[in-house]
Amino acid sequence: MSRSITISTEVFAAIWAERREGEETEDAILRRVFACLKAHNEEEAAPVPDESGGVYDTRNNVHFSEGFEIFRTYKRKEYRAIARNGSWVRQDTGDQFPTLNKLNRSITPGRESVWSGVWRYITEDGSN
């Protein structure tokens, strides 16, 4: 069972500053920090395809439809990925990633908030 809490941006940043390799959620970070055991019925939170395809981000409760394309520029090179069957697929390599964070780490080392606008998309009206 999960619960929602309201925290400040400063506390949110402090939680993520404590992140270690393999910790993809605030819950995972705080379980380690507070030495909480993983619940028996808890599964790894990884996006899974639903009947409509695309990618479902469980952490942020958002669904990216099948074929949804995103892009970013890193060191003057543009990277693109498409939501396909539960994974983000890099267009330059064909590699698949279950989360936006893992996709991003395949391009740039270190911690970076993927929700801060580094990844962009083009809307149906052509704006981004």
Same domain, yes or no: 85 and 25: no
Same domain, yes or no: 57 and 39: no
For the stretch 4-27, pLDDT in tens is: 788 888 888 888 888 888 888 888
Same domain, yes or no: 94 and 50: yes
Same domain, yes or no: 57 and 76: yes
Same domain, yes or no: 15 and 62: no
- What is the extent of the structural domain holding 89? 46-128
Mapping DSSP to helix (H, G, I), strand (E, B) and coil, where does residue 120 land? strand
Same domain, yes or no: 64 and 74: yes
Total count of domains within the chain: 2
For the stretch 91-113, pLDDT in tens is: 999 999 999 989 999 999 877 88
Same domain, yes or no: 19 and 40: yes
Contact 86, 98 (CB under 8 A): yes
In angstroms, the CA 48 to CA 13 distance is 27
Tokens of 89: 């697929």
